[in-house]
Structure 1
Amino acid sequence: MLYTCKMKSFVFTVFVICCAVFTSAELECRSENIHVPTEWIDMKDFCVNSMRGQIEEELKAAMQYMAMGAHFSKDIVNKPGFAKTFFEAASEERQHAIKLISYLLMRGELTSKVSELIKSRKLIPTKTSWPSGLEALKDALKLEASVTQKIRKVIKVCEDDHFNDYHLVDYLTGDFLTEQYHGQRDIAGKVSTLEKLKQKHGALGEFLFDKKLLNGEL
């Protein structure tokens, strides 16, 4: 009886393995070489490369904002308003990168080596701690100004006299630059308000400012 049970168990095991092998072979994804017309793809390499660089810049900004949010979330710092603000900024920068990737895909570009954009050492934050929320906001303003200038450079590259990519230039100018300028003005206003509070109330001023950030009052 014991021998019969062992034989049944062995047969069942072999059956399961055979089924698994057969199923995996059946489900194996194989891609044939598909020949798709490429006449519709009209972006120039210098413009595509510039856009890839901008995607890295957006991801780099996102990582820097993540570092800011993490710093102000620490128990020894504990400024949840600043943490919330910077984490939200990180999400916005990631969305910008996703938008640029989606745009390139729409134009028939960036169909390979996408993962290289998120493996770059350029994405490592250049700074991970700040003496105050005011200093962090000033760094954020510098960061946004840098991203804005990089976008302007992409526009300039893609406005090349030999091939002006009107659609991309209009997309970056209308959507991205407008948002960048609004964002810069918002941060500049926060810096101004916080400096006045600190001049009048000292450390208490930044504490009150943090609470307003947390409650969405600024």
Structure 2
Amino acid sequence: MNFIYGFLILLGCLSITPEVYSTCTINEARIDVKWVDMVGTCTKRLKDQVKLEISASMTYLAMSAYFARDSISRPGFSKFFSHAADEERDHAIKLIEYLLMRGDVTENFQELLAFPLKVSSMTWADGSAALKSALAKEVEVTTNIRSIIKHCENPGENMKNDYHLVDWLTGDFLDEQYKGQRDLAGKYTTLTKMMETYGPIGEFLFDKKLLNGEV
């Protein structure tokens, strides 16, 4: 019903003359901002985390593209890092949705996306180097989440503890981060051992296992 009502308003605006069209706008509602109770420093740190998640997503996308090159041809690694890029993007979306729920992303929203994206490297020596780099990136993300939790649990004098944010980050993010780190560490160890045993063919075999979801 709300969609139909909005569509009728839009249709009405489109049907009027150009001279009147400029006045046919829907202003934002004036809402009491007292319900917005996130501490400003927590809001800023959470927005910075959005940027970090997007940066991680772009890093994994660069890895996926690198291993998909015809001169590299490691489809398993490409598929794995493409999935990792999707996960980091989804994390950024979840954080934005949380900020919207708390009412703290209504202004200057473009700041979350309009920032320079930097990928530290566009090439990697081999699969193990990429996995090691990915693990370091995940540790960076986890460390930043932990710093947000620590700060927002006790943001300072005369500022309330944001237990909801702390609980949400601890339950929704840290568990997944630790599992992801363990998975990367295990893959790195397995690949290293295979390369030590079989040489370059070890990476080829590991890539096939990645592609088939066997490791």
Q: TM-score range by the shorter chain?
A: 0.7 to 0.9
Residue number among 84, 94, 99 corresponding to 1:99 in the alignment: 94
2:38 paired residue number: 43
**1:34–1:146 CA distance, 2 compared to 1 (3 A):** same
- Is 1:196–2:190 an aligned residue pair? no
| CA displacement 1:69-98 (0-9 Å, x = unmatched) | 010011000100000000100000000000
Match of 1:173 in 2: 170
Change (3 A) 1:151 1:206: same
Q: CA deviation at 1:38?
A: 1.6
Cα deviation, 1:8-63, whole Å, max 9, x if unaligned, reads xxxxxxxxxxx987269548751335321122111111110010110000001001
Alignment partners' CA distance in 2, 1:28 and 1:124: 42
- Summarize the alignment of residues 132-143 of structure 1 with structure 2, pairs less than 5 Å apart: 132-143=126-137
Report how many residues are paired.
199
Q: Computing the radius of gyration over CA atoms, which structure comes out larger, 1 or 2? A: 1
Point out where structure 1 has 5 or more consecutive residues left out of the alignment: 1-18
Read off the aligned partner of 1:187 and give its amino acid letter.
L
2:123 maps to 1:129: yes
CA distance in 2, matches of 1:78, 1:24: 59
Deviation at 1:113, TM superposition (A): 2.1
Q: CA separation in 2, counterparts of 1:29 and 1:135?
A: 57
1:159 CA drift (Å): 1.3
- Give the whole-Å Cα distance in 2 for the aligned partners of 1:175 and 1:29: 42
Contact 1:50-1:157 at 8 Å conserved across structures = no
Task: Tell me the amino acid that sits aligned with residue 167 of structure 1.
Answer: H
Uncovered stretches (5+) of structure 2, i.e. residues with no partner: 1-13
TM superposition outliers: structure 1 runs of 4+ over 3 Å: 23-29
Task: Provide TM-score, normalisation by structure 2.
Answer: 0.87
Secondary structure of the corresponding residue to residue 32 of structure 2 = coil
Matched with 1:159 is 153
Q: Distance in 2 between matches of 1:211 and 1:25?
A: 63
Q: CA RMSD in A?
A: 1.8
- Aligned partners of 1:129 and 1:163: how far apart in 2? 46
Q: SS of the residue aligned with 2:209?
A: helix
Question: Does residue 181 of structure 2 align to residue 184 of structure 1?
Answer: yes
Residues 76 and 55 (structure 1), Cα distance of their counterparts in 2 relative to 1, 3 Å cut:
same
Whether 1:22 and 2:9 are equivalent positions in the alignment is no
Measured in 1, the distance between the counterparts of 2:147 and 2:24 equals: 41
What is the match of residue 84 of structure 1?
79
- Normalising by structure 1, report the TM-score: 0.86
Q: Which residue of 2 aligns with 1:144?
A: 138
Q: For 2:64 and 2:23, how far apart are their aligned partners in 1?
A: 43
